[in-house]
Chain A
Amino acid sequence: MSSAFRLNVRFLAFIGIFLAIVANITVNCVIKDWGNTMYHKEKSIQIKNSASALYNNLSVLRIAPRRLTYFTVVHANVVNMVSASWDGLNYSHRQLQSKEPNVATSTSLIMQAAFCVLPFRELLVVSSQKGIQMYESDGSIMVYWHALDTPETPTEQAVFARGISAVSDNYICVGVSSGAVLVFDVPSKGSNITLSEVLEEHKEAITDIASECSGSQECLANLVTADDGGNMCVWKSGEEFQLLNKIPGLDITCSSVKLWKGTVLAGYGTGQIRLYEAVTGILHAEVNAHARWIYSLDIAPFSGLLLSAAEDSFVRVWHLAVTTDTNSVEIAHLHNECVTDTQICGAKFCDGDGYAFAVTGYDLSEIIRYVQS
């Protein structure tokens, strides 16, 4: 063979190998990216303080008539509120402080701030070491204050309120470190809010509370409460709340809980997500979802998208399918977002379809937003 021919062969071989490598890389990238093209990052919202490392540290309220979304993020003894217009042009900020009986005592740290949506009104509930404050949803006026029984000298067991949810048409439930759940009766307007009942089933500090089926929907169970030991109670609201079921924990904190189509969605300190049938306690699914403590779960009720976020820097999006007549539950993984070098403490969908979601992290002074591509 002539030397030129040999050179050509070598050249072709080289090209061949090169193309094979490129194809391999492309295939890998494509497969890797397949899990990452569902959402893309949008412009972040700057907040006045960084987020504190607290469970469920982000609350979102969508106000469609005014084309606004409110966000709240807790920093120590302050709630940072941002009102963002949908066109992305206007942002206004407000800060709410925890109520302190007198200046001489140490500051009261806030454990959680959450919007509660009831048929005729929306309130912002702030739970702290000293008690529970309820504001109009724009944070302009405080309409109610409930003081916790704080002892004169501090005890080994910390005292605080944590876990907030609107339930049915006229209740707001807030958990307490003793394990009690306070049920407040909320009128359609005005400040005549009263403590209607105290539910005492849990023995450990309440971590999170969730509900579904407000308004016209009728549900067997419409409230779930979770505690530090991973124990969960399922309730039916009413003049007297009815305990329907207890789901025992395995001594692992359930830090975030949601209720959807009769299914309890629970996130744990071990990084697992478990799906239970609320009324029977049957375990439908178990996901080894995160490598560290889960801090937040959220569900987009119209599409069945589930959002989970943890200290491991990951936010994951899943799809849930619940068929009530066959009693079957399916969960599939859809998407990952890694917020580099951040322990995430809050993640919420910004709308009922899960078209967009927002994320907060410890020591971060911004709310990061993601939107479907």
Chain B
Amino acid sequence: MSTRTLPLLFINLGGEMLYILDQRLRAQNIPADKAKKVSTVAAWIEEDRKRVMNDIITTMFNKKFLEELFKPQELYSKKALRTVFDRLAHASIMRLNQASMDKLYDLMTMAFKYQVLLCPRPKDILLVSFNHMDAIKDFVKDAPTILGQVDETYQQLIEMYTPLSNGDFQLIRQTLLIFFQDMHIRVSIFLKDKVQNSNGRFVLPTSGPVPRGTQIPGLIRIFSCAGEELTRLQFHNGGNYSSALREGSFEIFGDRVTKLGTNMYSVSRPVETHMSGTSKSSAQHTKVNAAPNPLAKEELNLLARLMGGLEVQKPGSADTGFRVNLFATDEEEEEALISRPDELSYGVINIQATKDQQANAELAKIMEEFTEPGDQSTSGSSKGDDLLAMMDGL
């Protein structure tokens, strides 16, 4: 539908990913008193956290990559987008197992789905995007080069989106909602805050402020042919609405007003997803567009161009990389991988498996750098290190 959806999808999902990784990296931080080694180990962890965040953000805002992203195009399939984020998540020394990556992606997508659904006006999706951008800017405030890249992206967003009409934004929103259709994964932080029901559906309140430009429902006005108001009638609207809040800022700086898109995670609020109970409902929905080809040829070409722009850190030697677990323990992570319902698996693309790739030199280059999903599960190689052993033991 809308050909201007991808940049917003990418930036918002990327923003959520950074919130979650930041929280997990802080949570896996070893408190100074607990460290058996010298206190410089704790400092190293803090350094690495910043380095991981900087590396990922640098890759996210890579100029060539963004150029491709901002071109008018249809939205990618879920599989293709998941592949891009897999690549992005591994753009630093951080390593994620399949189960953790799955969970990360679930959280990212459910969070953005929630934000899109709850936006009072379609245009507010841009404010949500700016909230994410503001937070990203804060993550890299000590790194001027990356900051420059982020600022440029603000400019691109403003240039591309501020001239759009409300109807254009609604089309973007409808396109995003089709992308998120039928996703009802329960997120514990949402359940606790009572913004999500136990069946995985979000709570849509019939109270609160109306969007800017909308009046509180209840008034009927009848006019004469000359334009004078003849009658006023009131009706009961069934809700509990209040007047609209002030307008948020659509510029590089400013108060966005909406809280949607701000960081809802903190070290004390761990993120968990519940897989049980969702498989029953999703099984009923046959995905009609499950084509025999895992990826349409057109999508593959696009993906190649996009990934060509993504620089990847070589999964280097064991002592420089370190693993991040999105679950509380390793056992939980393994358990999650085994028990994940089939229909919820993302089927990350193995580009080697498709036939029409050899002609494309860029794809060949990607093939070399692309870590096969199989390799990630053999995490035993990274466990030899003392430091990693300490982290795994937590």
Cβ of B149 within 8 Å of any chain A Cβ, yes or no, is: no
What are the residues of chain A within 8 A of B167 when measuring CB–CB? 204-205, 207, 228-229, 253, 269
Q: Do residues B233 and A156 form an inter-chain contact, with CB atoms below 8 A?
A: no
Alpha-carbon gap, A37 to B168, bound state (A): 39
Alpha-carbon gap, A105 to B117, bound state (A): 29
Alpha-carbon gap, A105 to B293, bound state (A): 12
Cβ of A133 within 8 Å of any chain B Cβ, yes or no, is: no
Given contacts A251-B165, A291-B237, A338-B238, contact A77 B288 (CB under 8 A): yes
Cβ of A184 within 8 Å of any chain B Cβ, yes or no, is: no
A residues whose Cβ falls under 8 Å from a Cβ of B: 32, 35, 48-50, 52-54, 75-78, 95, 97, 103-107, 109, 111, 129, 153-158, 160, 204-205, 207, 228-229, 251-253, 255, 269-272, 282-293, 312-314, 327, 329-333, 336, 338, 340-343, 362-363, 365
> Which of B171, B215, B222 is close to A272, meaning CB atoms less than 8 Å apart?
B215
> Which of B170, B178, B182, B214 is close to A291, meaning CB atoms less than 8 Å apart?
B214
Cβ of B297 within 8 Å of any chain A Cβ, yes or no, is: yes
Q: For the A-B complex with A52-B181, A251-B166 known, give 11 more contacts whose Cβ atoms are closer than 8 Å.
A: A32-B236, A78-B288, A129-B1, A156-B4, A158-B1, A207-B167, A270-B213, A285-B222, A286-B223, A290-B217, A291-B217
Interface size of B as a range: 35 or more
What are the residues of chain A within 8 A of B217 when measuring CB–CB? 271, 288-291, 312
For residue A313, give the distance in angstroms from its CB to the closest CB of chain B.
6
> Which of B2, B236, B239, B293 is close to A103, meaning CB atoms less than 8 Å apart?
B293
Chain A, Cβ-Cβ closest to B212: A270
Given contacts A252-B166, A284-B223, contact A314 B181 (CB under 8 A): no
Alpha-carbon gap, A228 to B2, bound state (A): 14
Q: Do residues B285 and A50 form an inter-chain contact, with CB atoms below 8 A?
A: yes
> Which of A49, A205, A252, A282 is close to B288, meaning CB atoms less than 8 Å apart?
A49
Alpha-carbon gap, A53 to B204, bound state (A): 15
What are the residues of chain A within 8 A of B317 when measuring CB–CB? none
> Which of A53, A229, A284, A340 is close to B174, meaning CB atoms less than 8 Å apart?
A53
What are the residues of chain A within 8 A of B241 when measuring CB–CB? 291
B45-57 toward A: CB 8 Å interface, digit per residue (1/0)? 0000000000000
Which of B35-43, B90-98, B195-203 is found at the contact surface with chain A?
B195-203
Cβ of B267 within 8 Å of any chain A Cβ, yes or no, is: no
B205-224 toward A: CB 8 Å interface, digit per residue (1/0)? 01000110111111111110
Q: Do residues B222 and A284 form an inter-chain contact, with CB atoms below 8 A?
A: yes
Q: Do residues B288 and A228 form an inter-chain contact, with CB atoms below 8 A?
A: no
Q: List 9 A-B pairs, Cβ < 8 Å.
A: A111-B1, A158-B2, A252-B166, A269-B121, A269-B170, A286-B220, A291-B206, A291-B210, A340-B204
> Which of B174, B210, B227 is close to A54, meaning CB atoms less than 8 Å apart?
B174
Given contacts A106-B298, A155-B3, A229-B165, contact A49 B285 (CB under 8 A): yes
What are the residues of chain B within 8 A of A252 when measuring CB–CB? 166, 213
For residue A107, give the distance in angstroms from its CB to the closest CB of chain B.
5
Cβ of B373 within 8 Å of any chain A Cβ, yes or no, is: no
Alpha-carbon gap, A95 to B287, bound state (A): 12
Q: Do residues A314 and B239 form an inter-chain contact, with CB atoms below 8 A?
A: yes
Chain A, Cβ-Cβ closest to B286: A48
Among B3, B197, B210, B214, chain A packs the most CB atoms within 10 A around the CB of B214
Cβ of B284 within 8 Å of any chain A Cβ, yes or no, is: yes
Chain B, Cβ-Cβ closest to A80: B288
> Which of A255, A271, A312, A340 is close to B215, meaning CB atoms less than 8 Å apart?
A271
